[in-house]
Structure 1
Amino acid sequence: MTLHTPPPDGGRIVDEPMGDALSRRYLAYALSTITNRALPDVRDGFKPVHRRILYAMHQMRLNPQAAARKCAKVVGDVMGGYHPHGDASIYDALVRMAQAFAQRYPLVDGQGNFGNIDGDNAAAMRYTECKLTAAAVLLMEGIDQNAVDFRPTYDDQDQEPVVLPAGFPNLLANGSSGIAVGMATSIPPHNVGELIETCLILLDDPEATTEALMQHMPGPDFPTGGVLVEGKASLLETYETGRGGLRLRARWEVEHLERGTWRIVVTEIPYQVQKGRLIETLADLIDQKKAPLLGDVRDESAEDIRLVLDPRARTVEPEVLMESLFRLSDLEVRVPVNINVLDATGTPGVMGLKACLQAFLDHRREVLIRRSNWRAERIEKRLHLLEGLRIVFLNIDEVIRIVREEEQPKAALIARLNLTEVQADFVLDTRLRQLARLEELAIETEFRELAEELAGLRALMDSPSRQWKRIGKDLAEVRKALPSPRRTIFGEAPEGGASAPIEAFIPREAITVVLSERGWIRAAKGKVEDPSELKFKEGDSLAFLVPAFTTDKLLVAATDGRIFTIGADKLASGRGHGEPIRLMIDLEEGVEIVALFAHQPGAKLMVASKAGYGFIAPEDELLAQKRGGKQVLNGEMAVCLRVTGDHVAVIGDNIKTLVFPVSELPEMSRGKGVKFQSYRQGGMADATVFAEETGPDWVDGGGRRRNWPDWRDWIGKRAAVGRQGPRGLRKFR
């Protein structure tokens, strides 16, 4: 046996730089994604998969009057004949076209489980059925009359439309979204009645500005309704440039109950927000105490949406509660607008409102001309046949004789009556009973009507003004066929509501913060008159008792030099023992709490380490946004006090005491600071800040507070050693 050695490269290897090969292939992939998958056509508003689904259903005669067919049958025909990209993507696209909460004007009439606004998926395609809607029929009207171009399918076995005739501006009516390579599109849905009215205005005045057009089409109209709170100036810029964003809110109302109570009922939620996930988000906000004004949320929806929101207290204003929830949840969303589409030549680009509608009208004119030509050709053929029949009726006896006697009746008819070959064939194929007197009258009537129609078509094709007038008439009929009251209303957000801090929505109520020695924290309502009545877990006791308000931020100083921030509204109720503070802040094991304050804007704190170094820190710069707090002092923190006076008194472990002015301490937000007092052994035991007018006081060993009238005798320079303090002085607090 002889073995033939193949050439070294097999004849299939191309020698080229890797960069060139990758760039060329990636460019081909990118162009394919942009033009054949992600971006819609400005003329009919469809991507190829949607266009192929509708055309396949049209070929299957699944019109609104027909019986529905299994979705699996439709998906199979689409995948086998037009779109070989997998059944999942085809069925997903079909399902979306059938969802009334996703499409402003559904194009597929789905029967079965096609998902819901809660976020549940549709049933498998073998369980669901579908057919076309009236809106889909309008989009394909004339597709069998040479209205659009066709191209071969992927396997050259059939033909598919390049674009649909599009009886209404579907691109803006139903919107679209997609992500390509390096570009994306996001087009919200609009009201078709308003779009058609805008088209009619554009037909009357091609020079109309976007602002003039928006008098008739003020903004999107979402299938789920809602309230659009975007300003007119922002909307105008969006529609002029084709790029922008829209603020969309849920629609709500107040239900008044007995005894002055009330609740909020949400009847419409923003577009593409899943109701089930929205309820979960609101419940999580309640559990995590991030929505301090919201008490409970319930879903009482049936066919219509009904979300019930109970306030935590009836003293809260409904508008304040909703503004807080708009900030915290998807009850308000920002809808991006990026009208990135393919034009008639397949070139991607961003278009404004006027450009989109003009492209649609130009497409409708082309469709009208092509349909008129198609109809004119058929009328001419019919008139040619009818002309032959008219000649036959004038010579009926001769025609009968020729048919009976001539061996070649066709040739004889052509020679004797001057008929064409087509007319002769038609006469010979005509039944004798059709040559009766009544038929002659019907033929004359048909001839006259067709002649008039042909004259009208020729006049239409020769006159652009008549063409635009006819387009306007057709659009007005479509508007009657698709009645569509506006669902999304327009509103105004309160000034500053979107940028106001969440604290602005928290009711200001007096509380007393209770922190135990073991680190359990809670908030008791009002003022605690007698701390001895507070109850703690066995073996625990009171460490800090701080009056505050629910709107306050709490500053917690720890021995590791960090200061943490806790929202007072997030504390557990004072009825129980509270919750461990370590669940709210990242406090490491072995680290103790030095001080607890209710933040006062503009106030200052004095921080000092065990080694006797410290400084003055502005409270506003100590607020932390994270659980880990802010590292303020380098070293082990021993003292953290609010600066309420002009002098500092320091006592060391060696009982030496020193007093000096606060002005000798630097102001900084982080660091080691300067030396308060010098120590040969030990470090700082305690310190206090006091006003010169009142003087300091201190606590003796028996727990009694004592005055210190001769404190001036201990005044010295900062960083000095100091001298022996009064008898019994060990700490100031």
Structure 2
Amino acid sequence: MKDVIDINTPDLFEQLEVLPDEDMALAGHPPEPPESPPEPPAAEPPQDDLADYAKAAYLAYAMAVSKSRAIPDVRDGQKPVQRRILYAMREMGNEWDKPHKKSARIVGDVIGKYHPHGDSAVYEAAVRMAQDFSLRYPLIDGQGNFGSLDGDSAAAMRYTEVRLTPIAQLLLGELDHGTVAFRQNYDGSFEEPVVLPARLPFLLLNGASGIGVGIATEVPPHNLREVCEVAATMIESPSFTEAQMLDMIPGPDFPGGGQILSSPQEIRNAYTSGRGSIAVRARYVFEEMARGQWQLVITELPPGASAAKVLSEIETLTNPQPKLGKKAVDQGQMQTKTLLLSLLDTARDESDKEQSVRIVFGPKSSRIDRDEFARTLLAYTSLETTVSFNLVQVGLDGNPMQKSLFTIFSEWCQFRIATVEKRLGHRLGKVNDRVHILEGRHIVFLNIDEVIRLIRESDEPKPALIARYSLSERQADDILEIRLRQLSRLEGIKIEQEIAELMKERSKLESLLASPARMKSLVAREIREDTKKFGDDRRTLIQPERRASLSEAAVLDEPVTVILSEKGWLRQRQGHGIDLATLSFKEGDKLFVAIECRSPDAVLLLGSDGRAYTITASQIPGGKGDGVPAGSVVGLQPGTKIVSMMTGQQEDQVLLSNSGGYGFVATIADMASRQKGGKLLMTLEEGEQVLPPVKMQKGVPRYVACVSSSDKLLVFPLGEVKQMPKGRGVILMGLEKGDSLKLVGVFEDTLMLKGVRRGRTIDEVPQFEVAKRARKGKPVNLKIEALHTSKVSS
């Protein structure tokens, strides 16, 4: 059911709207009363349509869960449970300037009136809204234990107390001004707002995270000043573009700070597509100590990391346990343990009330390279992590959809303009109603004696007043209920003054409502006023850098010998000068190649399919066993064999060739790959095989020797071979039909052939002439088995 979970399927939401009443029922709300008598219920679907019926019912359920629980609304940035908590607290008078109230009282009010679910779900949502390390701008002011960054849970709701924060007024302050619609709660006994009249885009300020049915959202938090300036500018300027927005929003701003490592283009791509990820790193400093000592101190953590988690990871790495199903710790775990213990001396958490994050790492020696020390800790722990973007929210059309950041801003600005328009319209209605009442009172004031006489002498004073002074029923009722002291001369003056002030206000409101430009200017001005009141500085540093990878992290530098068997079993042994004759192999297997290197060196493996694989020598399992299949440490394709193994400097050159007679020169850097699946280095035609590559010394003049399967020899200058990073290459030797290239070598001045002649194995220095590349070569009276060259590194 792939189309069920693809939120970008064009007709998904049209299908979801097939069952709106079921949608509302699942969301915890009764369906709206029909405008006309309902149609009789449809008959049960025929058996042939059961799949379609199940699909429609499932999609309706998915929509209901997403809208009523998991996905926030673009207008106020809240999920339904959060919206109901805030509204219930406001209705109870639990404002920021009032005393705290017990959390249990709030939770009880929410589940009893608006949210008929478990109390733990409501309390957990309230706790998160009070945590300053979870929300960039907390909406609840908590008193008591509301958990910690280390993952400690909050105290029970009977022990904690809450009230709204001042910034929460930006969500709730305009509820009584006719700005949003209300609907009945789940049992019809109360009303609740469909959405809160947010004065700022809280979806982007605090972010959101949630998983629905087939839909998930992950919106990172942002800085209030940056977000509000974009919103205000977009409202003021009809020509505001996405490029301008991206220039004004450099990236997320997390509650815990940290450093964003991703490039501006990566961040822009995530904002533009609505999906992506960025790398975030902890921020740290090196503190100098006595006698030249130093220590690394973590001061800010990326999202999802905590001091307890980092120290737990360090403990796991330095005291490894066997993996599931294994009896002993493997070689990789032991190497990591050895590495960390060779660098790290102490690790402790010194966080307190004054410093919410302070994790201290002490090195084994002050002579350890500081950058290497930090890079190793970042690579092996959650001090460096990835933050996902998935900008899914319930849009203005009521459907959850993944949208770009520009679209989110655009929809919120539309909502805000419409909200202010409703607020002004509501206020205009209030002003007109008050003016209407005061005009009636003014008539009474001007004719007070006659009005009193009329009321005294008439059996039905209301109709008499209406007939005599052309009053409305509303004005007549107000006059009959007015107190006599309100008819004094002083009150008459106040009435005239109030009418004058209200007329000015009415004129201003009508002018604003009649001018979209003035309306937008008012909205932008209010946004900037709120920015001045609640804005703060950015916490997260945006400074692109390379991520610390395990392959680049420090490893224990020691001599090792890497051994590869003919059947592809790979292992390493510590030290150089190992007696290869003492090595044991599985039955039917034997040594293929062994190279001496250092543990941090990159080892290159060339597969028979033309792909090159890279692995660090330290990552190859050690010990005295038979090793592991090469396919378990690199991503070999099925049926692929390793034809060569080498190591070297990045600039070292290698001659690559295949049995089809083609080849080219590449560097070690060209062959290297960070992917486990390697990189395609050589392009092969059907039936062609990769020949063992030849590593060459740089700067020494050479020739290339090619031997065909028919024992023809061709020698030509190496300079005629093209250097390229990958591909098929150029023709090295012209081959006749049915012939193939068998051996390739390079040499400086002396070439020796090893082969068989008349049943005897001999070594021979042949007479040759230097020809041009791509020739067919000349026959040699020898069945050639190998090439021996001088001054060529193997």
TM-score computed with the length of structure 2 as normaliser: 0.65
Find the counterpart in structure 2 of residue 86 from structure 1: 118
Find the counterpart in structure 1 of residue 62 from structure 2: 30
How far does residue 20 in structure 1 lie from its aligned partner after superposition?
Answer: 4.6
Using the TM superposition, name which of 438-447 and 416-425 deviates more. Answer: 416-425
Matched residues in 1 for 2:198 and 2:383: separation? 34
Matched residues in 2 for 1:613 and 1:362: separation? 73
Q: 1:605–1:618: 8 Å Cα contact kept in structure 2?
A: no
Secondary structure of 1:616's counterpart equals strand
Find the counterpart in structure 1 of residue 698 from structure 2: none
Q: 1:553–1:598: 8 Å Cα contact kept in structure 2?
A: yes
Matched residues in 2 for 1:130 and 1:219: separation? 32
Alignment of 1:39-438 (within 5 A): 39-288=71-320, 290=336, 291-292=339-340, 293-303=343-353, 304-438=356-490
Matched residues in 2 for 1:376 and 1:341: separation? 33
Q: 2:285–2:297: 8 Å Cα contact kept in structure 1?
A: yes
Using the TM superposition, name which of 396-405 and 103-112 deviates more. Answer: 396-405
How far does residue 272 in structure 1 lie from its aligned partner after superposition?
Answer: 2.5
Q: 2:379–2:550: 8 Å Cα contact kept in structure 1?
A: no
Matched residues in 2 for 1:331 and 1:223: separation? 15
What is the RMSD computed on CA atoms of the aligned residues? 3.3
Aligned residues: 555
Alignment of 1:371-520 (within 5 A): 371-494=423-546, 497-499=547-549, 501-502=551-552, 504-506=553-555, 508=557
Q: 1:556–1:597: 8 Å Cα contact kept in structure 2?
A: no
How far does residue 600 in structure 1 lie from its aligned partner after superposition?
Answer: 9.9
Alignment of 1:694-733 (within 5 A): none
How far does residue 298 in structure 1 lie from its aligned partner after superposition?
Answer: 0.7
How far does residue 14 in structure 1 lie from its aligned partner after superposition?
Answer: 7.7
Matched residues in 2 for 1:437 and 1:105: separation? 52
Question: CA 1:613–1:458 in 2, change beyond 3 Å: closer, same or farther?
Answer: closer
How far does residue 394 in structure 1 lie from its aligned partner after superposition?
Answer: 1.2
Using the TM superposition, name which of 161-170 and 203-212 deviates more. Answer: 203-212
Question: CA 1:416–1:400 in 2, change beyond 3 Å: closer, same or farther?
Answer: same
Q: 1:562–1:629: 8 Å Cα contact kept in structure 2?
A: no
Unaligned ranges ≥5, structure 2 = 1-42, 321-334, 596-602, 606-614, 631-644, 647-690, 694-759, 763-794
Alignment of 1:524-603 (within 5 A): 549=558, 552-553=559-560, 565=571, 596-598=573-575
Q: Give the AA of the match of 2:370.
A: P
Q: Give the AA of the match of 2:548.
A: A
Percentage identity across aligned positions?
Answer: 38
CA distances 1:630-651 after superposition (whole Å, capped 9, x unpaired): 259xxxxxxxxx99xxxxxxxx
Q: Give the AA of the match of 2:306.
A: Q
Secondary structure of 1:315's counterpart equals coil
Q: Give the AA of the match of 1:187.
A: V
Q: Does 1:630 align with 2:680?
A: no
Q: 2:223–2:538: 8 Å Cα contact kept in structure 1?
A: yes
Q: Which has the larger radius of gyration?
A: 1
Q: 1:210–1:236: 8 Å Cα contact kept in structure 2?
A: no
CA distances 1:355-413 after superposition (whole Å, capped 9, x unpaired): 11111111111111111111111111110110011111211221222233333322332
Q: Give the AA of the match of 1:364.
A: R
Question: CA 1:173–1:613 in 2, change beyond 3 Å: closer, same or farther?
Answer: closer
Q: Give the AA of the match of 1:193.
A: R
Matched residues in 2 for 1:562 and 1:597: separation? 20
How far does residue 62 in structure 1 lie from its aligned partner after superposition?
Answer: 0.9
Secondary structure of 1:505's counterpart equals coil
Q: Give the AA of the match of 1:323.
A: R
Q: 1:340–1:350: 8 Å Cα contact kept in structure 2?
A: yes
Matched residues in 2 for 1:553 and 1:461: separation? 80
Question: CA 1:193–1:615 in 2, change beyond 3 Å: closer, same or farther?
Answer: closer
Q: Give the AA of the match of 1:505.
A: A
Using the TM superposition, name which of 481-490 and 621-630 deviates more. Answer: 621-630
Q: Give the AA of the match of 1:133.
A: T
CA distances 1:2-35 after superposition (whole Å, capped 9, x unpaired): xxxxxxxxxx998746645543432222121222
How far does residue 214 in structure 1 lie from its aligned partner after superposition?
Answer: 3.0
Q: 2:563–2:593: 8 Å Cα contact kept in structure 1?
A: no
Q: 1:230–1:246: 8 Å Cα contact kept in structure 2?
A: yes
How far does residue 151 in structure 1 lie from its aligned partner after superposition?
Answer: 1.9
Question: CA 1:274–1:377 in 2, change beyond 3 Å: closer, same or farther?
Answer: same
Question: CA 1:626–1:467 in 2, change beyond 3 Å: closer, same or farther?
Answer: farther
Matched residues in 2 for 1:143 and 1:223: separation? 28
Matched residues in 2 for 1:626 and 1:608: separation? 16
Question: CA 1:392–1:27 in 2, change beyond 3 Å: closer, same or farther?
Answer: same
Find the counterpart in structure 2 of residue 651 from structure 1: none
Matched residues in 1 for 2:486 and 2:266: separation? 69
Matched residues in 2 for 1:67 and 1:298: separation? 39
How far does residue 197 in structure 1 lie from its aligned partner after superposition?
Answer: 0.9
Question: CA 1:312–1:196 in 2, change beyond 3 Å: closer, same or farther?
Answer: same
Question: CA 1:56–1:631 in 2, change beyond 3 Å: closer, same or farther?
Answer: closer
Q: 1:617–1:668: 8 Å Cα contact kept in structure 2?
A: no
Unaligned ranges ≥5, structure 1 = 1-11, 509-548, 567-595, 633-641, 644-666, 670-715, 719-733
Find the counterpart in structure 2 of residue 536 from structure 1: none
CA distances 1:443-462 after superposition (whole Å, capped 9, x unpaired): 11110111111111111111
Q: Give the AA of the match of 1:302.
A: D
Matched residues in 2 for 1:374 and 1:219: separation? 38
Q: 2:259–2:281: 8 Å Cα contact kept in structure 1?
A: yes
Q: 1:294–1:311: 8 Å Cα contact kept in structure 2?
A: yes
